[in-house]
Amino acid sequence: MFDIKKISEKISSLFGAKKEQNDTSVLKTMEEKDMSRVNRTQRVVQVLVKIALYAFLLTMAVIVLFPFYWMLISSVKSLEEYNLSVPTLFPEAFHFENYVEGFKTANLGQLFLNTVFVGVVSTILSLVITVLSAFAFARLEFVGKNALFAALLATMMIPGELFTITNYQTINDFFGLKTLGNQIGSKFLQEIGNWQNTYTVLIVPFLVSVFYIYLLKQNFMQIPNELYLAAKVDGTTDIKYLWKVMIPLAFPTIISITILKMMGAWNSYIWPRLVANDDAHKLITNGLRGADFTVDSMVHYPRQMAAVAIVSLPLFLVFLFFRKYIMKGVSRSGIKG
Amino acid sequence: MAEVLKKIKFEKWKGWLYLSPAIILLLIFTVWPIFNTIRMAFLEDFNTLQASRGAVFEIGFKNFEKVIGYKDFLTCLGNTMILCVLTVPLSTILALVIAVCLNSIKFLSRFIQTIFFLPYVTNSIAIGMVFAAMFNIVGSFLGTDNQIVQTWGIVNEVLRAFGMEPINWINSGSDYWANIWVMVIYIVWNALPFKILILLGGLQSVNKQYYEAAKIDGTSRIRTFTRITVPLLSPMIAYVVITGFIGGFKEYSSIVGIFGDGMGPAGEKGKLNTMVGYIYDSLSLHQGRASAAALILFGIIFIVTMINLYVSKKKTHY
Amino acid sequence: MKVELQNLTKIFPSRSKKQGEEVVAVNNFTFAIPDGKLVGLLGPSGCGKSTTLYMISGLQKPSSGKIFFGDEDVTDLAPESRGIGLVFQNYALYPHMTVKQNIMFPLQNLKGEDRLPKEVMIERAYEAAKLVQIDELMDRKPSELSGGQQQRVAIARALVKMPRVLLLDEPLSNLDARLRLQTREEIRRIQKETGITTVFVTHDQEEAMSISDIIVVMKLGVVQQIGKPQEVYDDPKNLFVAKFLGTPPINVFEGKVSGGKLYLGEDAVLDVPGVSDRAVYVGIRPEAFIPMSDGPLQCEISNVEVMGRDVSVVSKHVASINPFVRSIVDADNKISVSDEFVRFYLKPHKVFLFDKETEQRLYFGNQKPASIEEM
C-alpha cells in the first residue's frame, strides 16, 4: 500500500499539470484517506448503531411484555393497593388468595374440563380427517381430484361469518329434523335435531380445516413418490404406508396442527357463545368474559386478573415447550387458532 | 376378469373414500351455508321463525337496501374501516422495523424474538381484559366516607409522569377517538407477532450476498433498507398487508375483550361495533339482513384483496 | 425365472386436453428374457425404458400386451403379488427407519401363512445385508450412510423376500465415478451369486455394456436392437444404435455409393460390394482407422491426444457430420500435429452403411445380420 502511494505521488509530481485531474480519480482518493482513522470512525458508528438497535428492541420488548407484567402484579395485589391513586409497580404484599377467589368466581374448574374435553376430541377427530384427506390429495389418483382441491381452496377466501349464519340455523334445527319432530311429536327427532348446548355443536362444525389439509398435503408431497411405490412393491397397504411412513415423516407438521387446533379450542369465543351457554358446555373464554367479579358493587380487578392469568398460563406453557412447532405452523398459516 | 375390472374401478374412486368424512362435513357446514346464505340474502326480510310458519318471501335487494340504510350498520362499517386503515399500516411498518433490527443483531436475538412472539399465544379476550384494566379509570369512588378519589389506570399515570393530562380512555362518557386509539394499540400489539415472524422469515431467506455486495459498494444503511430489503421483501409485505386487511375487516373479539359484549363504553352500547358484530347481532332474528351484511363483508374483503394483489403485483419486484 | 413381454404397449393420455395428443411411451415391445440373465434396458431419457421396468414391476399397467413370469400371466397382478424386488434410482429408503428396519419392512408386510416368525425375519435381513456387505451398518439411519451404502441397503431390501425378478432403475446414476465402477461389479456379483433374473435401466451405454448379458436399446418407445453387448456394438442395426454405443462415439459421415464403391467427398474410400447406388450415412468406429501413407481417406489433423498405449487423432473431413473425426490408432504410428494431413485405410468390418432415408443398416461384402437365436 505504501509503495503504491509513493508511486502515485511520484507520478503526480512528474505530471504536475495533471495533478488536479488525478485528485478526482478513484485510486487517488482511496489511497489518500487515512485508513486507520476511517476504521476508527466506522467502528464508533457501528457500536452506536448497535446500541441504538438494542435500545429500540428492548424498549419495544418492554412495551410488548408490559401487559403480562401488569396482569401478574395486579393479580396479587390487594384491592386497596390496586385502587391506590398512584399505582404501585410492584405489589406491597402478595395476595395469592386472589387466585383461589378468581378461580371460584369464574368457575374455572368446570370450564377447564369442558374446554379440554372439546379440545382433545375435536383435535383427534380433526387430525384423522385431515390426514386421510391430505393423503388422498397427495398420493392417490382419482376422478375429479384437481377440481375438488381447487374448490376446497376457493372456500378459504370466504369469511367464516358467512357460514355461521346458516350453521346457526342448522344446529338449531338440523335439516328440519326438530320441526319434523315437533309435528309428529317425536321426542327423539326433536332431540337429535337440536344441537344447542351439546358437545357435538362445539366439535363437529369445525372438524374440517381446508387450510390444515392444504398444509399437510404440501408436506406429504415432499415425501418422494418412490417411497410409496417401493411400499407398494413390498405389498404395503395404503393405510399401513400412511401410518408407518407418511405420518412419522410429516410428524412436525402434525404436531403444529395439533397445537394450533388445541389453542383454537382454548381461545374460541364467538361460536361457543352463540350455541353453548349452560354450565355443562360453556367454554373457558366465554366463562371468563361473562364472569362477574363484582364485590360490593365494585369490580375486583385483582381477582379478575388472577383468573385471566390462570386462563393464559396453559397457553404459555404450551408455547414454552412447543415454540418451534408453533412458530413454524403459524408462519405458514396466518390464521389464529 | 370382472374382478379385475372391479379393482380398477375401485382404484379410480378410492380417493373419494378417504375424503368422504371431510366432504360430508364440508357439504353440511360450508357448501350448504354458501348457497343458503346467498338465498336468504335475496329473500326480502327473511327470518327463520316466519319461514318455519310457512311465510313466503319475495326475491329482491331489499335486505341490502335496508342494511345499508341502517345507522347501526353504517357505524359498524365506519368503525371497521377506521380500525383497518389505522392498524394495518401501523403494525406493518412497526413489524418491518422490528424485524430488520432483529435480523441485524446476534446476541439475544432469539430471546427477543420469542418475547415479540408472546402476544400471539394469548387469548385475545383475556388479554383484552388486561388492556381494559390498564386504560381504565379505577376506583373512582374509593375513599373514606363521602370522599371521592379519582384514581387513574396505569396508562394515565404514565401520561401524568410525562406531564400530560389524564384521558378518559374507555369509561362511560369517553371520547370516540380515545376509544379508537385504545383499540388500535391493542390490535397492533396483537398483530405484531405474526407480522414480525413472517417478515423476519423473509429477511432470513434473503441471500446475504446482496448485503455484502451493497456493503462493498458503500451503500448507506437507509439506502440498503429502501433499495434492497423492502423490494426483496415485497412478497412477504404484500402477504402481511393482505392478511392484515382481511383480519381487520373481521375485527370483533378484540373489541369484546376490552369493551365487553356491549361493544362500547358503559351506557353507549354498540358505539364500537363492527361488521362482524353487526352480523352476529342480527343472526338470531333477521337472518336475511345478516346474510346480506355477510355478503357485503365478503364483497369488501374480496375487492380489497384484489386491489392489494394488483398493487403488489405492480410493486413486487420479483 | 423367464420373463416374457408380449406386444407390450403403454400409451399415456396427453397432459393438456386441448391438443389431444397421446404419448406412446412403449410401443409393441416383445422380448423373452432368459432365466438368470442380467438384462440392461438402454436408451436416452424418454425412450420408455423406465416405463417398461415399471410395467414389469406392476406399478404401471400396460395399455395392451402381456407380461409372463415363467408360464404365469402376471399382466393384471398387483406389484406385491408378483414376487419382484425393485431398487429405485434415489433408493427410496425410509428416512426414519434404521437399515435393519428398512430391510425387514417388506417381510413385515407378508400376511397369513407367508408371515415369518420374528427371528427368521431378522435372520433373513442379516443374510441379505451380508450379501451386499452392509451387515455392520444395521442400526444406522439412511442419512448416516454414503451413497454407495444406501444403494446396497436398497438392494438388500429388494432381495430380502427372495424375489423371482430383480428390477433396478438407474442403479448407478446417483453415485460418483469411482463408486460407480465398484458398484456395477458388485451388482454383477450379486446377480451371479443369486441367479435372479435381473433387469436394469440405464442411459449410460458403458455401464450397460460392461455388466449386461443382454442389452436392449430403445428409442422413443421402440426397441431398436436386442443382443449381447459385443454383438450390438459390432453389428448395429441402424444409425441410432451405432451412434448410441461406443466411447469415443462413432464418426458419422455423409457419403454416397456408386458402382460398388463408397465415396466420402471426392474420394472413394472403400469397396462396398452388394450395395446399389444411393446416398448413405457412413458410421466409422474410431478403431477402424489405420494410418497408411497411401490410405484412401485423407483428413486434416487438428490435434493429437496421447493416451499412452493409443493415440487419439482429432482431424477434420468435409464429409463428416461432426465437426471433428476422432480415431484411435496405435501409438507406434508416430503421428504428430505438425503433419498437416493424415491418410487412413479403413477396416471394412468397422464401417457401417445406413440408408439415408430410413437410417437402416445396409450390409456389404461379408457383413451379415446376426440373429438373436444364437444366444
**C314 within some domain:** yes
Q: At a CB cut-off of 8 Å and minimum separation 6, what does B157 contact?
A: A86, A87
Which one of A232, A233, A238, A239 makes the best mutation probe of the C interface by having the most chain C beta carbons within 10 Å? A233
Q: Give the closest of C89, C95, C109 to A234, CB-based.
A: C109
d(CA A243, CA B11): 20
In a domain, A262, yes or no: yes
In a domain, C375, yes or no: no
Average pLDDT over residues C212-231: 92
In Å, how far is B126's CA from the nearest CA of chain A? 6
Residue B91 to residue B196: CA distance in whole angstroms: 9
Same domain, yes or no: A157 and A255: yes
Residues of chain A with pLDDT under 50: 1-28, 334-337
Please indicate whether, in this complex, the C-beta atoms of A64 and B294 are within 8 angstroms of each other: no
pLDDT average, residue stretch C97-117: 84
Residue C284 and residue C212 share a domain: no
**Chain B positions in Cβ-Cβ contact with residue A128 (cut-off 8 Å):** 21
Q: Which of C217, C239, C261 is the last residue of a domain?
A: C239
pLDDT confidence of residue B239: 86
- Average of per-residue pLDDT across C48-64: 90
Cis omega (within 30 of 0) on the bond before C248? Answer: yes
Q: Tell me whether residue A195 is in a domain.
A: yes
Specify the number of domains making up chain A.
2
Q: Do residues C229 and C333 share a domain? A: no
How far lies C122's CA from each of B294, C126, C132, in Å? Answer: 63, 6, 16
pLDDT, position A224: 87
Q: How far apart are CA C118 and CA C112, in angstroms?
A: 14
Q: Which of A72, A135, A155, A166 to mutate to test the interface with B (most CBs of B within 10 A)?
A: A166
Is B150 within 8 Å of chain A by CB? Answer: yes
Pair A78, A127 in one domain:
no
Q: Name chain A contacts of B194, Cβ cutoff 8 Å.
A: 330, 334, 336
Q: Which residue has the higher pLDDT, C111 or C143?
A: C143
C-alpha B263/C-alpha B83 separation (Å) is 14
Give the phi and the psi of residue C198 in degrees, each rounded to 5: -125, 135
In a domain, C370, yes or no: no
Considering only residues 54 to 93 of chain B, which have any Cβ-Cβ distance to chain A shorter than 8 Å?
none
CA dist., res. C344 & res. C13, Å (int) = 52
Closest CA in chain B for residue A161? B294
Domain-located, residue C69: yes
CB contact (8 A) between residue C86 and residue A230: yes
Q: Assess if residue A303 is contained within a domain.
A: no
Give the up-direction half-sphere exposure of residue B65: CA atoms within 13 A in the CB hemisphere: 8
Closest CB from A57, A162, A274 relative to B98: A57
Last residue of a domain, one of A273, A291, A309: A291
Same domain, C231 and C101: yes
Query: A71 and B127: CB-CB below 8 Å?
Result: yes
Domain shared by A209 and A277, yes or no: yes
- Whether residues C217 and C157 share a domain: the answer is yes
Residue A171 lies inside a defined structural domain of this protein: yes
Co-location of C9 and C94 in the same domain = yes
* Residue C167 sits in the same domain as residue C211: yes
The reported pLDDT for the residue numbered B138 is: 59
Q: Which residue has the higher pLDDT, A194 or C229?
A: C229
Q: What is the mean pLDDT of residues C126-131?
A: 90
Which of the other chains make 3 or more beta carbon contacts under 8 angstroms with chain B?
A
Is residue A183, in this structure, part of any structural domain at all?
yes
Q: What is the pLDDT of residue A8?
A: 47
* ipTM of predicted assembly, 2 dp: 0.85
Q: Give the contacts of A210 (CB within 8 A, at least 6 positions apart).
A: A152, A153, A155, A156, B26
CA-wise closest residue to C317 among C264, C248, C262: C264
**Residues C326 and C259 grouped into a single domain:** yes
> C175 or A68: which carries more pLDDT confidence?
A68
Shortest alpha-carbon distance between residue B315 and chain A (Å): 22
Residue B7 is predicted with a pLDDT of 60
The reported pLDDT for the residue numbered A1 is 40
pLDDT at C371: 55
- Radius of gyration (C-alpha) of chain C in whole angstroms: 25
Cβ-defined contact of B48 to A169 (cutoff 8 Å): yes
Q: Which residue has the higher pLDDT, B148 or C296?
A: C296
Is A233 part of the contact surface with chain C (CB cutoff 8 Å)? yes
Strands C23-33 and C3-12: antiparallel
The mean per-residue pLDDT over the stretch C279-303 comes to: 90
**Yes or no, beta carbons of A311 and B123 under 8 Å apart:** yes
Task: Tell me how close the Cα of A114 comes to any Cα of chain B, in angstroms.
Answer: 17
Instruction: Inform me whether the pLDDT recorded for B120 exceeds 60.
Output: yes
Given CB atoms, is A232 within the 8 Å cutoff of chain C? yes
Distance from CA of C179 to the nearest CA of A (A): 23
Which residue in the set B18, B116, B139 is minimally distant from A64, CB to CB?
B116
φ, ψ of residue C38 in degrees (nearest 5): -105, 115
**Is the Cβ pair B18, A140 closer than 8 Å?**
yes
Give the pLDDT confidence score for residue B150 in this predicted structure: 62
Domain range spanning residue C319? Answer: 251-365
Q: Annotate A283-334 with three-state secondary structure.
A: CHHHHHHHCCCEECCEECHHHHHHHHHHHHHHHHHHHHHHHHHHHHHHHHHC
Beta-carbon count within 10 A of B260 CB: 18
DSSP letters spanning A89-100 = SS-SS--THHHH
pLDDT, average across residues B13-25: 92
Stretch 283-302 of chain B: residues touching chain A, C-beta under 8 Å = 283-284, 287, 290-291, 294-295, 297-298, 301-302
* C198 and C295 both lie in a single domain: no
Task: Indicate whether A150 and A203 sit together in one domain.
Answer: yes
pLDDT digit string (tens) for B227-252? 778 888 888 888 899 889 988 998 89
Helices (H) and strands (E) in chain A, counts: 20, 2
Q: Is residue A119 part of a domain?
A: yes
Share of chain C above pLDDT 70, in %: 97
Grid cell listed for C55: 410395467
User: How confident is the model at residue A12, as a pLDDT?
Assistant: 44
Subunits with 3+ C-beta pairs closer than 8 A to A? B, C
C349 and C202 in one domain? no
pLDDT confidence of residue A39 = 74
Question: H/E/C letters for each residue in C113-143?
Answer: HHCCCHHHHHHHHHHHHHHCCCCCCCCCCHH
Domain match, C164 and C114 both: yes
Q: Are residues A19 and A150 in the same domain?
A: no
C131 neighbors C156 (Cβ within 8 angstroms)? yes
Is C269 domain-assigned?
A: yes
With CB atoms and an 8 Å threshold, state whether A65 touches B279.
no
Q: pTM above the 0.80 mark?
A: no
Range of A59's domain?
2-82
pLDDT at B44 (0 to 100): 86
Q: Smallest Cβ distance to C106: which of A224, A226, A234?
A: A234
Question: Where residue A119 sits, what CATH number does that domain have?
Answer: 1.10.3720.10
A68 in B contact zone (CB under 8 Å): yes
* Contact between C79 and A232 using a beta-carbon 8 Å cutoff: yes
* A267 and A127 within one domain: yes
| Per CATH, domain B62-136+171-315 is 2.60.40.1170 | no
Tally of helices (H runs) and strands (E runs) in chain B: 15, 0
Could you give the 3-state DSSP secondary structure of residue C284?
A: strand
Signed CA dihedral, B262, B268, B271, B272: sign only: negative
Determine which of B11, B19, B93 to mutate to test the interface with A (most A C-beta atoms within 10 Å): B19
- Do residues A130 and A28 share a domain? no
Same domain, A193 and A245: yes
What band does B136 get if pLDDT is binned at 50, 70 and 90?
confident
Express each pLDDT in B53-77 by its tens digit.
777 888 888 889 888 888 888 999 9
Q: Residue C41 has what pLDDT?
A: 93
Q: How far apart are the first and last CA of chain C?
A: 17
Q: How confident is the model at residue B91 (pLDDT cuts 50, 70, 90)?
A: very high
B199 and B236 in contact (C-beta within 8 Å)?
yes
Quick count: other Cβ atoms within 10 Å of Cβ A21? 11
pLDDT at A10: 46
Are C105 and A234 an interchain contact pair (Cβ–Cβ within 8 Å)?
Answer: yes
Residues of A in contact with B116 (CB under 8 A): 60-61, 64
* Chain B residues whose beta carbon lies within 8 Å of the beta carbon of residue A132: 18-19, 21-22
Any CB–CB contact under 8 A between C96 and chain A?
Answer: yes
Residues 6+ positions from A129 with CB-CB distance below 8 Å: A207, A208, B21, B22, B25
Q: Is A332 within the bounds of a domain?
A: no
Identify which of A226, A236, A249 has the shortest CB distance to residue C92: A226
Quick check: A274 and B36 CB within 8 A?
A: no
CATH number at residue C166: 3.40.50.300
- Chain A (5-34) residues lying within 8 Å, Cβ to Cβ, of chain B: none
In a domain, C223, yes or no: yes
Same domain, A119 and A168: yes
Question: pLDDT above 90 covers what percent of chain B?
Answer: 31
Chain A residue numbers touching C91 (CB-CB < 8 A): 226
Domain count, chain C: 2
* Judgement on whether residues C169 and C196 belong to the same structural domain of the protein: yes
Is A179 part of a structural domain of the chain? yes
Testing the interface with C: which of A234, A238, A245, A247 to mutate, by most C Cβ within 10 A? A234
> Do C59 and A232 make contact, defined as CB atoms within 8 angstroms?
yes
C352 and C290 share one domain: yes
